[in-house]
Amino acid sequence: MNAVNFSYDLLARGLLPEITLIVGALLVLAYDVIRGRNHTLAERQAIALWIGGIALAAAFYHVVTIGAIGRVYGDSLLIDRLAVAARAGVLVLGMITLGIASGAKRQRHPAEYVAIILFAVTGFTLMSAAQHLLIAFTALELASLSLYVLAGFDKTSRASAEAALKYFLMGSMATAFLLFGFSLIYGVTGEMNLDRIAFVLAHGGVTPLLGLALVMVLVAFGFKAAAAPFHLWAPDAYQGAPTPSAALIASASKLAGFTLFLRLLWPGLGALSGDVSTAGNTGGWLTLLCLISGASLLLGNLAALAQTNIRRLLAYSAIAHTGALLLGVVAAEVAGASPLLFYLMTYGIATAGAFGVIAVLEVNGGCQKITDLAGLSKRSPLLAGCLLVFILSLAGIPPLAGFFGKFTVFAAALKVGGMSGPAGWLTMLAIALSAVALYYYLIVLKQALVQPAAPENSAKIKVPVGAAITLLLAAGLIVVLGICPSLLLGLF
């Protein structure tokens, strides 16, 4: 191991994005407190969004220019290419969320809203780089608490409050599990740093205590990722939360969460992974992951078939995608993190985009049921076109990025053990269920592009400029990444 580095200079450089974000959040709050009363609500929101956007852009710039500087401050943070990519991705998704917020229903406290989004994003960026159990935990908590607040931000809506409460209760329980699991790991290994934990575990074996810790950690992971059977909060949260919040939960939170747990499991708890290349395996968290993955795939896809509410449908589709993403985690041993990260990123953009369209529609006539989308192609060709791109990407239709994400993950998963092992069966299940998924995605598109508009809802929609640009950029990104996935894959 290298000499442990405690340089504050390096730490400051490594945390520059987070610092930028915090400063930005404080600026937003400050400006609003000081000058807020001179502006209308619309102007306050616009200014807050602009400052937030600039902060995110600046943070993105820092992430990209600082690059992969390696271990920071005594190995508590590891800023490698995976971290750089995940942080950049989270920041992009944050920017998309802000763009969506500009077209969504106006919040009563816009500055606080933007500030909390920035805090959440800070938590995400920290999660992506954390190498120390405590840092991981704190970052996770920062993010989660921010997200709970964001979910319940709309005080005029009972659904929002209910969503936030459910999210908070289940999230806290998951956090408790995580903390307990971490303390068990510390107790057994005596270390808090992931590298050293891995070292210790490699020389030991699986003890029942470690098995318990494993289960705890996995429960927390499952919750965070909205995997079955820990998914119960997701449909309600997605349905009740304000649309930009839902977008952030669906996209960036998943990206950061998967990155953190990926780092935790591989290589942190790698020694406990077990082997899923053949049908008879030696036990370990890989087996558990496969089970969770299968459950998510089945539950997510089959439940989505029955949905009539568009947001709940997106929630169940998120659960289904989690199942596929978990396959990416399983395959990360063999193929590295790039398939998983590509999938996460493109999935995030697509889901956020879909929520963006819903956000605009919400302001223009409401958008809860799928049938509220009727006649979208006449009401707003722009929204209909963007929705087409996002939904098809989620469905996995080439040449959009979502297809390629799934493809790389499946190819990697098959490399783990071929068709005969659990990874292979899961891949086949995932591919088969994607045909099922196409059905409900086409139902959504049918409403948007085929059905005539309901008479009471047929006025043309004017899409705010900010939202329009965001959606177009997101759709464009999906198309470009679909045609040239190497642009992203080559980065890590």
Partner 1 sequence: MNLLPFTIYLSFAGAVLSLLAGMRSAAMARGVALVTALFCWGITLYAACNFTPARDLQNLVDVAWIPEMGIRYHLAADGISLTLVVLTGLAATAGILFSWNIEERVGEFFAFYLALIGGVYGVFLSADAFLFFVFYEIAIVPKYFLIANWGSTNRQYGAMKLALYSFAGSAMVLVGLLWIYAAGHASGFGLPELARAAATTSHTDQIFIFGLIFTGFAVLAGMFPFHTWAPTGHVAAPTGASMLLAGVVMKLGAYGCLRVAMPLVPGALEFWQPVIAWLAVAGIIYAGLVALVQDDFKFVIGYSSVSHMGFVLLGLAAANPTAVAGAVLQMFSHGVIAGLLFAVVGRMVYERTHTRQLEDLRKLPLHRLMPFACVVFVLAGLASMGMPGFSGFPAELTILIGVWKSSKILAILAASGVLIAAAFTLRAIQVAFFGQANPATPATALHHPYAPVTWPERTGAFLLLAATLVVGLKPDLLLNWIVPSLNSPLMQAVWRGGAQ
Binding region for partner 1 (CB under 8 A): 338, 377, 392, 397-399, 403-404, 407-408, 410-411, 414-415, 418-419, 427-428, 431-432, 434-435, 438-439, 442, 445-446, 449-450, 484-486, 489-490
Angstrom distance (rounded) from CA 444 to CA 310: 8
Closest CB to partner 1 among residues 53, 405: 405
Instruction: Name residues whose C-beta falls within 8 Å of residue 380's C-beta, 6 or more positions apart in sequence.
Output: 360, 460, 461, 463
Hey, is 77 helix, strand or coil?
strand
What's the min distance (Å) between Cβ of 449 and partner 1? Answer: 6
CB of 126 or CB of 413, closer to partner 1: 413
- Beta carbons of 40 and 72 less than 8 angstroms apart: no
Output the smallest distance, CB 109 to partner 1, in A: 41
- In the bound state with partner 1, the residue whose beta carbon lies nearer, of 155 and 460, is 460
Tell me how far, at minimum, the Cβ of 334 lies from partner 1, in Å. 10
* Closer residue to partner 1 (CB): 279 or 419: 419
Shortest Cβ distance from residue 444 to partner 1 (Å)?
12
**What are the phi and psi torsion angles at 78 (to 5°)?**
-125, 110
- How many other C-beta atoms lie within 10 A of the C-beta of residue 25? 24
CA 193 to chain centre: 25
Query: How many angstroms separate the CA atoms of 482 and 488, rounded?
Result: 10
Q: Specify which residues 78 forms β-bridges with.
A: 71
* Inter-axis angle of helices 310-335 and 254-263, nearest 10: 30
* Rounded least distance, CB 324 to partner 1, Å: 13
Closer to partner 1 by Cβ: residue 256 or 337: 337
Smallest gap from Cβ 81 to partner 1, in A, equals 14
- Whole-angstrom Cα Rg for the chain: 22
Min CB(259)–partner 1 separation in Å: 19
Rounded CA-CA distance 293/299 in Å is 10
Q: Which is nearer to partner 1, 129 or 437 (CB)?
A: 437
In the complex, the smallest distance separating the C-beta of residue 407 from partner 1, rounded to whole angstroms, is 8
Question: Measured from the CB of residue 4, what is the shortest distance to partner 1 in angstroms?
Answer: 34
Q: Is 454 left (phi over 0), alpha (psi -120 to 50) or beta?
A: beta
> Is 411:348 a contact under the CB 8 Å cutoff?
no
End-to-end CA distance of the chain: 23
Token pair belonging to 261: 């747990």
178 and 140 in contact (C-beta within 8 Å)?
yes
Q: Rounded to an integer, what distance in angstroms lies between the CA atom of residue 50 and that of residue 417?
A: 49
**Considering beta carbons, is residue 226 or 329 the nearer one to partner 1?**
329
In the bound state with partner 1, the residue whose beta carbon lies nearer, of 64 and 411, is 411
Cα 376 to Cα 358, 382, 457: the distances in Å are 11, 9, 10
User: What minimum distance in Å lies between the beta carbon of 392 and partner 1?
Assistant: 6
Between CA 42 and CA 169 the distance in angstroms is: 33
Residue (44 or 406) nearer to partner 1, CB: 406
Output 16 or 438, the one with its CB closest to partner 1: 438
